[in-house]
Amino acid sequence: MTHVLGFSLINGGLLGFLGLASIPIIIYLINRQRHRRVPWAAMEFLLRAMKKNRKRLRLENLLLLIIRTLIVLLFVFGMLRPIMDSGPLPITAGSTRYEFYIVDASYSMGLEDGGRSLLFQAVDRAKRRVDKVLRPGDQVGLIVGGGFPEVMFSKPQTVSEQGNRLITDTLDRVELRYEPMDVAATLTQMLAWIEQGGNNFQWEVHFFTDVQRRDWLTTDGATEIGIRDGLARLEAQGSKIVVHDLGPERARNASVTSVQSLSPLLAIDMPTSFSATVVNPGRETLAGLELEFTVNGEVQASKTISLDPGVSQTVAFPYVFRSTGLARVEVRLRSDSLEVDNRRYQVVEVHEAVEVLVADGGSEADWLEAALVAESSEHSGIRLTPYRVETVPADRLISTDLSDTRVIVLANVEGFTEAESDRIGDYVRDGGGLLVFVGGRANMRSYNSHPFDNGKGWFPYALAEPPIYDETRKNYFRWTVTAVEHPAVEYLAAEKDSGLELLAVHGYWRPADTAAIPSEDILVRLNDVENTPAVVERRFGNGRVISVNMSADRSWSNFPVAPAFLVFLYETIPFLSTPSQTQRNLSIGEPFSRVVATDEYADRVVLFRPDGGGLPLSLEPRPDSKSFDLNVPGQESPGLFEIRYGNLEDGGTSRWIAVNADSAEGDLTAVPPSELKDFYPTVYVSERGAAAMSDEPLVASTGELWRSLFYAVLALLALESVLARVFSARGGRV
């Protein structure tokens, strides 16, 4: 594309005023016509003397006339606001303007500054440009950012003399969004919209935002490639971009980044504690921050903290639940100008007890019961563990009622019939948790047939015969945690007092094909030559299976008497028993799904939002004809949402989900204009404060000439005054 140097006139409508430059010439001609010749003896003497200086006088008068004419010309031309521009084509005076508005609606724009939110200020400035800067016939485009950018007009909207109701009404409907601003994606959408029109117009893009550092730069403070490429494409087509920096001068904000129960499993009368993490990403100390802890809408406790710059603090709220069911937990931060990141929600399930069924294939149940069951304190009414353990022989597993069972433990079970394997598979597929200890009684062929079934069953891998076992118990191996961030083994890996170094393994099973096991599913390995997988996870349907390649008694290891045994059980069983609890706590836009049993079916299912609005949902029959699938679309705002099955007054049920926004959006650290210009040289950044609120057309070009023209007018005025005085004085002497 060939670029030529041209100019445009912002106030082209004033072009006719250039005729005012003729006023000094007209005055000069009129003054000449007013002279009459009157004979006078003394004057004849002077005229003969002045003939010698006539040429000089004419030049002086002509010079003054030229200067006075230039003063008028340059003043009027300055009022026209000429712009020198290197674009694809020069823009002529009075031509159509093409302005594109990008409004940042991410939730950091909800910050209250001077009694008005930043989003309100962004919308207000865009509306004022439409009303006061644009002329009839000018074209407008609009994108709202925050999450996936939304193009508001399918084609450019024309500014009309009758009003701009469609444009301003659309701006008025812009609402705060709860996902971060994606600048690169927004520029891409805008360019696609412009290029779709197939025109070569020069667009003036106005970006109203708080210029968050996390939106414009990478985590290590470098240029975002997507933004750089988008700006390059914009410049190549001759368009310009103006960033209106609406961020506050002092970014003071604290965010609640998380709230969670310190106990993975919750039961009535069992003490627990909830931790809330609060961070101050700014550069000033924040004092007197009040935190409120609420359960089911009632305030249970409050604490006041102070945070130094760049510091996070975790605050604990002890609590004891006295009733079962889903509990709604909320931590709220008060005394803050940005409301959205002041709240954090969690929905937890409180049980009367967590039912654990142990299918015992030998003598391992005693060890498991000793680890999981502890006596309650009758005097305080406080329980020490949430578990209720039932032990059955392995052959009775198929006839046992599993409706209330949260976790099944298979302890050194010899094998399974097809019916037993199918029942276990159905249980896990429907969301149950399964912990398998494969000991010396295990039959390889039985495990490899229906439970594994060439990778289609619930068992994670095929066993290789024979098992490794040292009868002398002189040679042993230890565990090495490989998935150090996995909830089931995270504590074993992180804490030195977990007792992992005391574990000695003398016997174990090997997988027939280790390479077939996904590496992310291997939680623990042995430190033998082959680095044999020792603990493996498998996701099966809505549930999970964790297998351990040794027994839970002392026949193959000292595991039951090592401190790591308790740690492993108290981390693994909660993880297996709560596959749906994590799903109930969602992020913005994350969908929710649940298997609904037949006895919970209702003709009418409604999702109630925090604002009181309702969304009808449907239950879809599953292939087994025994249950239904409930699918809830991702929500666009945070809060506690109620799913109501039927009418509560007629025996209907109610369940809850929590949706939280990205807490990182609460970091209001901005990119200074000079720094943003260094990273992206083609960007023009408007100033904050009163100057930034001006309604003047801001063109991202260094070619505006009006200031230079007005300085030239002042200089010519001074020159004309000096020359007129000098010429007058010289004429008087003559």
Instruction: Look at residue 485 and give its three-state secondary structure.
Output: coil
Ranges under pLDDT 70 in the chain: 1-21, 24-55, 81, 83-95, 162-163, 197-200, 374-383, 579-582, 687-706, 730-734
Distance in angstroms (rounded) separating the CA atoms of residues 434 and 459? 10
Other residues' Cβ atoms within 10 Å of the Cβ of residue 19:
10
How confident is the model at residue 16, as a pLDDT? 65
Distance in angstroms (rounded) separating the CA atoms of residues 251 and 262? 32
- List of residues 6+ apart from 437 with CB closer than 8 A: 364, 409, 410, 411, 412, 548, 550, 551, 552
Residue 98's DSSP bridge partners are: 139, 203
Domains, the chain, with CATH or none: 4-87+708-733 (no CATH), 98-250+671-696 (3.40.50.410), 255-350 (2.60.40.10), 353-581 (3.40.50.880), 588-660 (2.60.40.10)
Supply 373's token pair. 């069951």
How confident is the model at residue 40, as a pLDDT? 62
- List of residues 6+ apart from 549 with CB closer than 8 A: 438, 508, 509, 510, 532, 533, 534, 535, 536
Alpha helices in 237-312 (DSSP H): none
HSE-up of residue 595 (Cα within 13 Å, Cβ side): 19
Instruction: Look at residue 640 and give its three-state secondary structure.
Output: strand
Distance in angstroms (rounded) separating the CA atoms of residues 662 and 684? 29
- List of residues 6+ apart from 253 with CB closer than 8 A: 111, 280, 281, 282, 336, 337, 338, 341, 666, 667, 668
How confident is the model at residue 65, as a pLDDT? 78
Q: Is 516 exposed, middle or buried (0-12, 13-18, 19+ CB in 10 A)?
A: exposed
709: left (phi over 0), alpha (psi -120 to 50) or beta: alpha
Distance in angstroms (rounded) separating the CA atoms of residues 224 and 204? 22
pLDDT, tens digit, 9 for 90 and up, residues 381-414: 566 788 889 999 988 988 899 988 989 999 999 9
Supply 617's token pair. 């949902």
Q: Dihedral sign for Cα 19, 25, 27, 33, please.
A: negative
Give the pTM.
Answer: 0.70
Q: Shortest CA distance to 320 belongs to which of 259, 379, 262?
A: 262
How confident is the model at residue 455, as a pLDDT? 92
